[in-house]
Amino acid sequence: MNISHTVCQIEHHAMMFAFLSKHAIRLCGNRGKDAILDAMTEYGKERGRRMALNAQTHGDPLNTMTNQAYGEWKPDYPGQMEFGQLCTEPTLQTYISKCAWCEAWQKHHITEYGKYYCVNVDNAVYQGFRPDFTCTPISTSMSWGGDCCKFDWGHPLSAEDNEALAAKKKELGTSCMKDFNFHTAHLMHTITRVLIKQLGAAGEKAVTLALAEYVDTFGQEYLDVLDTISLDEIYPFEV
């Protein structure tokens, strides 16, 4: 099958997680839930480490401004996500009021499993970027029943920092961003690794069931395309 034009979107990424979460929890209960949460923390930290490597490659310091500048993804189309700044001082606080991940889980009636994605991923990415940083949720996330996701990033973003952020985003464009073939492959590989490490044969079974459900939902080509992503690109560091 020709998969050269197969392009995953946020929905595929969201559902890859939800299916892995569903089968780990159904097979292993609280052990499966703990393994999924650990896997998401590992995944987030790996994303943050790649962002930090990109910043350092460009000669930029690791601070809150550059963390915001070196994000690795963008929405599939304008208006798919709604997010922004609540305030910049005394600490940067941001919000998400429309989330494509939440909408995918709602569409497929799987929010009860998809919601575990949201527990620590933002903080994990931030700590992967710089281990002494902490991102604190200051509202109940939408996937857990809240109206809006809000975060406190623990450091101020001055007017000068905000100008520098806009300039840095303009300079970088999409050069450090990855498509959702990449992100879905990364998610699959990292969660698979952690589930098998923590749950053994039950983890392997959870992964097999999850990938089968993913293929049933989207088609084999949306799984096969993930094999075209190089592990050296996903993990430019030891794991």
Can you say how many angstroms the Cα of residue 22 is from the centroid of all Cα atoms in its chain?
A: 17
3-state secondary structure 221-234: HHHHHHHHCCHHHH
Amino acid, single-letter form, for residue 80: Q
Residue percentage of the chain with pLDDT more than 90: 97
The model's pLDDT over 85-131, given as tens digits with 9 standing for 90+, comes to 999 999 999 999 999 999 999 999 999 999 999 999 999 999 999 99
Q: Identity (one letter) of the amino acid at 237? A: F
* Chain segment 122-147, per-residue pLDDT in tens: 999 999 999 999 999 999 999 999 99
> How far is 235 from 239, CA to CA, in rounded Å?
7
pLDDT in tens, 43-60: 999 999 999 999 999 999
Torsion angles phi and psi, residue 147, rounded to 5: -85, -25
Q: Collapsing DSSP states into helix, strand and coil, what is residue 85?
A: strand
User: Averaged over 73-92, what is the pLDDT?
Assistant: 97
Is the whole model's pTM more than 0.85, yes or no? yes
Q: Contact 145/153 with Cβ under 8 angstroms? A: no
Work out the end-to-end distance of the chain between its first and last CA atoms, rounded to an integer number of angstroms.
Answer: 32
